Structure formats: C-alpha cells, structure tokens
C-alpha cells in the first residue's frame, strides 16, 4: 500500500506536565473541542496521528472526494464572524476546499500551538489512584490528563479486507480512506476499483477519465442521486449569509440536522402520478433530500419500493447497455445503506474504457501478482484502488487500547457491540468522552452541527464539574443499559435495520451486528442531552 508521507515521520516529543484534557484527533471535532476548552481556561492538548488538521478531509484525498452535505450547511456555526468571512465556492465542497477550511479554522483561532502532530495514541488507561488518564503513544511516550476526549471520527479506520494473495500484487495499491498526499495520475494505466460505495461512486468518474482501462468490481450496487453540483453565485452566498441564523435554526429542527424539505405526506397515500412528479422534482434538485419526499419511506417497505423503482428507472435511462444497467440497479431497500451523491457515476459505465465486473455471487477469488482474479479470469491491471470502506464508529476507538476502572478494556466491554450512554461516555470509564460516539445521531446527521452539539455539551459538563468542585463523571450502568435499549428499539422499527450496512457493522467480519448510531433524530437527541445536563447530569455518577 502506498502510505501517506506523514506516516514516515516520528512521533513528536510529548509535552511535560498534566493537562485538564487531552483530545485525541484534530479533525473538526478535535479543533472545536480545543477551542472551547481553551476559551474556558482549561489546559488542553490535542494529539493527532497525521501531520495536519482536518481528520476525514486530511486522509480521504482520493480523486473526486467531496462532501455529500451542502457546504453552507457542512460548516461551523459557533462563530458568526467565521461563517460570514468564509466563502464556499461550490454547492458541495471538494476535499481540498474542506481541508483549506479546517486549516483556516486552526489558524484563525490559533489552535496549532496546542496540537501535537505525527503522534498516534496507542493506549489510554485510567489511573484510579491519581484519578487521571494516562495517554501513551506508539513509542512509549506518555502524557496525563484529568479528562480524555476521543475526537477520533466515525469513518476513520479504513477497512482492508483480507483478500487472498493481497501481498503478491506487484502494481500500485491505494485505499480511498488512506490516500497519498502526492498527486496520483492514472493516465494510460489499467486500474481495478474494488467497491461501489460513496468513495467509489465519487472517484470512478474521475479515474475513468484518466485510465486506459478501468475495471469496477461490484459486490452490491448502491443508489446514487445526482449532486447537481455547481459553483455558488455571489447572490446565493449573500442570501445565505443574510440569514445564517435562520438556516441553522431550521436545520436544528430536522431529523438529520440539515435544512431541507421533509414532507409530512405518505408515499402510499399519494396517487402514483403525483408521487412520480415529487420524486422527479427532488431528483432534479439533487442530493440527500430525495429521501425526505415521504415520511413512510424508511418505515414501510411498500412505500420504499416506490422510491427505489423510480431510481432504478433512472439508472436504466442513463446506462445504455441493458445488462450493465440491470447490474447497477440495486434491488435492496433504498436508504438502508447510506445514499450516494454522484456526479456522472452511472454515465461513466457508457464509456468504452470502463467495465463492470459482477462479484455478487462469486466474490473476488484472489489478488494476483498482476491483477484481480474472479471466477478463474484474471484482470491484469497496473493499479488497484480499494474503496472498501471503514470499520465505522467503533474501529478508531478500538484501535486504541482503552482501559477504564480495574483495567477493564473497552474491547472487552464492547465484545457484543458498543454500549454507551448518549454516545458520550461509558460506564466504567470515568472522565472519558467520545465525540459523536456510537449511540449518538452522528453519521445519520450533518456531522458539523452534531459535533458542535457534543463539544458544547462536554465543555459545559467540564465547566459544571469545575464549578461544583467535582473531579469525576461516569455514566451509571443503568443509564447506559436503558439508553442502549432505547437506541436498539428505535433502530428495530426502521428499514435501516434490514440490510448489511456499515451502520450495523456487517461489513467487518466478526463485528457484532448492532445498529450503532441513534436513529431518533437530532432534535429529540438534543432535547435529551439538555434534559440530562439540566438535571445535574442525570444518569451520570459524579464524584
């Protein structure tokens, strides 16, 4: 695997002294957490494995990487000056612009002086006698802090399946979630793409435009809705900035924390011709709001089928070869896996240099020295791109050996699946917080407002502890159990429970099948968190 250059660098020397908080990760969550804590006078330090800020947007540099939430919404709102000063250039920002934004935030709020780069945390253990977290890096250096805050991201642990023969491949290998920093040009090359999730859907059209030949190995087709991406006009930007507060307020009231139009109508109570018009309007508008067309789409299979069939018909219209179109048309529930937002994805399969290889039945037999083997046929390539996703939500946390009271390991605690209270903390792990952890809305919502809500809650909580002369906070077993039951019960009511998605951990062999994010919606979750804090951190043990 071609490694990002940053990996070669040595861990920086850890600072001496004790911190009020150590924050792991310098993505958007880590940056804002540091800003809040410093503003409150806490001594905080961020430890970051990469050589720069940006998290997801630092690592995911594959061609075509771009956010699937509109840029004016996928942005911080904690500083009005920031949102007034920053100009997004496109409806959906591309990775370089998002990374530039993260860097701008770091510079604007002078955050770098408290971030330690090239420092991968390998272990975090709670020292019960001292009441402090001991955070260690791979080379044995350590730092201590009263609080340890994991800002490690939800989709930050790339999944590389154990393909037979993987190590024998003599060509170039890339993973979309771990892309090199130098420009990779596939011009004139034969390329294999393994996977057809969001990362593949975004990168396939770009790679197809460069490569001599692109083979796409598809196990399960995905639904992609057009992005209709476009430059943002000065008039549009002015209008947004004139009422940013209104936009944020409307977004906060929506399930996903995104301001778009959710209908209260039911698909099955709507006449078919009217329904088709509604789908067409949303298709023309583009983006994730397609699934907001009807309130029953994610709870009633028959309703869902109407939207799924609409998209399948669109795929058949776009793809000229009927056999290929049929392979690309998903048969499962739309929205069960996360929707993809595309720019010319299906049309790419009309190109003469692109071939779709169906591996739904056979799987990939092996990676060979020269390429990819399926059902006895070897596809010879110069490069393989693995767009095989992530060990979502728990992967990055479990890569760190996290030990709570009595040496309890998080891996052991989560053997049957993640257990948290509100996705913010775990019983047995005092003073440990997770930003957008499993059990919170996280990946089902717009990540930026969701991050801000968690960071604000944690910052307020630390302020409360300080004001009340308290040194410890930890969820009670009961609160954790009740919350877990509630999260599971809500998930079981939706169609999202019915497919093999990364939300359920099914993409990782041996991972327990548990629906990890909280599906009750952003407004309901915010209310619950505020209620808990308002009642003196109900469900937490304070000491």
Q: Which residues contact 243 (CB under 8 A, 6 or more apart)?
A: none
**Cα separation, 169 vs 370, whole angstroms:** 6
Tell me whether residue 444 or residue 459 sits nearer to ligand N01 (CB atom): 444
Choice from 364, 432, 519, 526 touching ligand N01 (CB under 6 A): 364
Closest CA to 224 of 351, 45, 344: 344
Work out how close the CB of 309 gets to ligand N01 at its nearest, in angstroms, rounded to a whole number. Answer: 20
b/e for 186-197, b at 16 or more Cβ within 10 A? beebbbbbbbbb
At 210, phi and psi to the nearest 5? -105, -40
How many residues at the interface with ligand N01, by CB under 6 A?
Answer: 26
Work out how close the CB of 199 gets to ligand N01 at its nearest, in angstroms, rounded to a whole number. Answer: 3
**Cα separation, 109 vs 255, whole angstroms:** 30
Sign (positive or negative) of CA dihedral 263, 454, 198, 103: positive
Strand 224-226 relative to strand 340-342: parallel, antiparallel, unpaired? parallel
Tell me whether residue 14 or residue 194 sits nearer to ligand N01 (CB atom): 194
Work out how close the CB of 29 gets to ligand N01 at its nearest, in angstroms, rounded to a whole number. Answer: 15
**Cα separation, 383 vs 512, whole angstroms:** 33
- 194 interacts with ligand N01 by CB under 6 A: yes
Tell me whether residue 388 or residue 431 sits nearer to ligand N01 (CB atom): 388
**Contact string 484-523 vs ligand N01 (x = CB under 6 A):** ------------------x----x----------------
- 256 interacts with ligand N01 by CB under 6 A: no
Tell me whether residue 46 or residue 444 sits nearer to ligand N01 (CB atom): 444
Segment lying near ligand N01 (by CB under 6 A), choices 129-137, 198-206, 376-384, 529-537: 198-206
**Cα separation, 354 vs 147, whole angstroms:** 51
Work out how close the CB of 79 gets to ligand N01 at its nearest, in angstroms, rounded to a whole number. Answer: 23
Tell me whether residue 192 or residue 461 sits nearer to ligand N01 (CB atom): 192
b/e for 102-112, b at 16 or more Cβ within 10 A? bbebbeebebb
Residues 332-351 that bind ligand N01 (CB under 6 A): 338
Closest CA to 66 of 46, 91, 86, 39: 91
Work out how close the CB of 292 gets to ligand N01 at its nearest, in angstroms, rounded to a whole number. Answer: 17
Using alpha carbons only, how large is the chain's radius of gyration in Å?
Answer: 23
Segment lying near ligand N01 (by CB under 6 A), choices 66-74, 144-152, 305-313, 489-497: 66-74
The secondary structure of residue 148, as a DSSP letter, is E
Work out how close the CB of 176 gets to ligand N01 at its nearest, in angstroms, rounded to a whole number. Answer: 6
Residues 150-179 that bind ligand N01 (CB under 6 A): 155, 161, 176
Choice from 198, 333, 442, 445 touching ligand N01 (CB under 6 A): 198
Residues 376-415 that bind ligand N01 (CB under 6 A): 387-390
Tell me whether residue 59 or residue 457 sits nearer to ligand N01 (CB atom): 59
Tell me whether residue 431 or residue 507 sits nearer to ligand N01 (CB atom): 507
Residue with the CB atom nearest ligand N01 in the bound state: 197
Closest CA to 113 of 184, 46, 42: 46
Closest CA to 386 of 181, 155, 536, 216: 216
- 229 interacts with ligand N01 by CB under 6 A: no
**Cα separation, 234 vs 357, whole angstroms:** 44
- Residues contributing to the site for ligand N01 (CB under 6 A): 66-68, 155, 161, 176, 194-200, 202, 219-220, 338, 359, 363-364, 387-390, 502, 507
């Amino acid at each position: 695997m071609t490694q990002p250059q940053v990996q070669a660098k040595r861990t920086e020397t850890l600072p001496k002294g004790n911190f009020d908080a150590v924050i792991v990760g310098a993505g958007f969550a880590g940056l804002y957490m540091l800003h809040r804590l410093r503003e409150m006078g806490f001594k905080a330090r961020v430890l970051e494995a990469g050589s720069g800020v940006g998290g997801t947007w630092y690592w995911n540099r594959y061609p075509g990487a771009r956010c699937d939430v509109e840029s004016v919404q996928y942005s911080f709102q904690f500083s009005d000056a920031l949102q007034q000063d920053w100009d997004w250039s496109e409806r959906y920002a591309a990775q370089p612009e998002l990374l530039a934004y993260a860097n701008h935030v770091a510079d604007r709020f002078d955050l770098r002086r408290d971030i330690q780069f090239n420092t991968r945390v390998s272990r975090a253990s709670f020292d019960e006698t001292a009441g402090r977290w001991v955070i260690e890096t791979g080379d044995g250096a350590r730092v201590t802090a009263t609080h340890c805050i994991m800002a490690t991201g939800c989709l930050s642990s790339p999944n590389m399946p154990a393909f037979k023969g993987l190590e024998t491949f003599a060509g170039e290998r890339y993973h979309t979630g771990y892309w090199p920093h130098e420009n990779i040009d596939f011009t004139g090359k034969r390329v294999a793409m393994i996977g057809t999730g969001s990362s593949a859907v975004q990168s396939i059209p770009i790679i197809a435009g460069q490569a001599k030949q692109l083979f796409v190995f598809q196990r399960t087709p995905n639904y992609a809705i057009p992005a209709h991406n476009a430059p943002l006009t000065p008039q549009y930007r002015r209008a947004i900035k004139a009422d940013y507060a209104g936009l944020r307020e409307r977004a906060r009231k929506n399930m996903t924390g995104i301001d778009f139009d959710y209908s209260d109508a039911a698909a099955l109570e709507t006449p078919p011709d009217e329904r088709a018009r509604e789908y067409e309007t949303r298709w023309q508008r583009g983006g994730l709001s397609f699934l907001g067309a009807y309130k029953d789409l994610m709870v009633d299979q028959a309703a869902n089928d109407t939207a799924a069939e609409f998209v399948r018909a669109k795929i058949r219209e776009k793809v000229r070869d009927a056999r290929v179109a049929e392979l690309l048309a998903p048969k499962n529930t739309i929205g069960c896996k996360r929707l993809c937002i595309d720019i010319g994805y299906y049309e790419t399969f009309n190109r003469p240099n692109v071939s779709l290889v169906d591996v739904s039945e056979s799987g990939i037999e092996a990676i060979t020295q020269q390429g990819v083997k399926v059902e006895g046929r070897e596809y010879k390539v110069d490069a393989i791109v693995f767009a095989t996703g992530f060990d979502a939500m728990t992967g990055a946390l479990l890569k760190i050996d996290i030990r709570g009271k009595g040496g309890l390991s998080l891996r052991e605690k989560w053997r049957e699946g993640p257990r948290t209270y509100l996705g913010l903390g775990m019983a047995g792990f005092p003073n440990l917080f997770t930003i957008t952890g499993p059990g919170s809305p996280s990946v089902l919502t717009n990540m930026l407002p969701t991050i801000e809500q968690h960071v604000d809650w944690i910052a307020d909580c630390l302020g409360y502890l300080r004001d009340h002369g308290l040194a410890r906070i930890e969820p009670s077993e009961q609160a954790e159990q009740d919350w877990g039951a509630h999260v599971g019960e809500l998930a079981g009511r939706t169609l999202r429970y019915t497919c093999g998605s990364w939300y359920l951990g099914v993409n990782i062999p041996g991972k327990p099948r548990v629906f990890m994010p909280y599906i009750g919606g952003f407004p309901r979750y915010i209310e619950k968190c505020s209620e808990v804090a308002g009642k003196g951190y109900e469900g937490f043990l304070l000491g």
